[in-house]
Structure 1
Amino acid sequence: MPNLKNVSNPSLWQRMWQGFLTTVGTKQFFAIFSPWVKWLSILAIICLTIGSIWGLAFAPPDYLQGNSYRIIFIHVPSASLALSIYMAMAVLGVIYLVWKIKTANLVAQALAPLGFLLCIISLLTGSIWAKPTWGTYWVWDARLTSMLILAFLYAGVMALFAAFEHTSNRGKAAAILSIVGAVNLPIIKYSVNWWNTLHQGATFTLTEAPKMSADMWMPLLLMMIGSYLLAAALAIYRTNTLILQRDQAKAWVNEYIRRHKVG
């Protein structure tokens, strides 16, 4: 006979899971995270303003690269975010495919163009930096090549979101590609350790002290924090826009539009 006691009295984890599911619907996501956009944007602007002025105007030149190294204050945050966003998309893809949480699919759809843009910025700034450092804009270095593959993966995910926009399979193909493409992330991360490449090693690691003086890495850290905060604000804003478009026929959206005079 089934254990009726367990059925009528769910465990703590079951209650927590059910409680979590009540917060991940599109309406709940919109209500919870909408106020975050303003404050994340303000914090991002503060960090980016201080970090950029400090890094571009007051940080000392590098003893080998001179002032050309200053592009690091754009290149490193954009490259780091490009990897982080794709990893987030892969995790969201698993959540969407396994637990059918539609909000995860919308967040991934909102993140994809942002990650693609940051990946392109990373490639462009890296090429600009490479010219005075390596004497050429591009080499088929392991890190550069795997980063270029990441840009194609982003483009593929966006194309799949667009191709299946009006079908019941919307997001499934994009989620699968995001998950499969995640195998490229450790290759990008550890390519400088696995192969003899021109690309320098990591600027920040959890196990070693920064390889730059404090007046160089502190503004870089501010740029990193500011970039992640700005990306979070943009991701929430874009997700909320997609939610309004998807749920436009629902009463709560019409009420929101009426109260805020949107559209």
Structure 2
Amino acid sequence: MPHPWMPQALKADVGDHAPCDPEFPARAIAHITADREADAEAPLDLVPFGNLQGFFTGGGKGRAPHILWDPFTGAFAQFFPATSRSKALSDTAGGTRTNRAGKVVIQIEALFFPHCRVDGKVFARLVDTPCQGWDALHAWVSSWDVPDVWPMGPPTSLSRRTCPDDEWRSRGGWYAHAHVPENDHVDPGSWPAFVSRPPGPLPDEPRFEPFPGASFFRAGRRSPVIAEMHGRLVAEDCDRYTSGTGIDVWGPGDVRSYTAWQRKLGFEGGSADGVPGRFSWDRLAVPGV
């Protein structure tokens, strides 16, 4: 049985679950957040992941997808289980039930807009980004029997091509927001290629260290968990350590390095204080000990 909640995603359940229509085939809908308007001459900084997560759990609940995906860091937040409809599509009463028409209708919002700027580099298309985490996302969507096909063709430009109602009802697979009936959007413009997988069952999900609580991280605390955290911070280019010894003991280098990680996730001010919280810890994916 596939997981209703993507194992790699932060569970940010907004409630208001409602069933899909299982008489229709399984499908996935590809969106981009498109939350800023930029162009090649005037690029803009990417909006922090935490801002969009806060929007979809706050004032934007009525527009929330299943998954918010950061293709630059591989971070995920999930707002509805796969077994529920989400709300990211226009869905006219008495129409094609766009948010529900499928065994599942898994909707993904990639944190991206054309000509966004990240660490000084500008990205014109989603496929130009690192697409971190796409393999895990694709595997999870596929576990819900969403076929690796684009009935309207893969998105290659920001243009509208509406799927006929009869085809929408009869063909499963991946659809761009630009393809969905009753909607007027042109996104996502591009999407990463499907990940080839060997035949047979999917491997077990990797086990990550659960958040031990903020009080765990006190000066002098010695633990293999801290050593594993150290390794992950270094791997994420958040190495602010001045010594390579005592990596299993919580100290000032850990605070500096964890602050760098929090800032990389988009936290600012007192929210980037170097003390792990559940959200940032889950995103760091510290291997289990």
> TM-score normalized by structure 2?
0.23
> TM-score normalized by structure 1?
0.25
Work out which structure has the larger RCO, using CA pairs closer than 8 Å and 6 or more positions apart in sequence.
Answer: 1
More strand by share: 2
Which structure has the greater CA radius of gyration? 1
More helix by share: 1
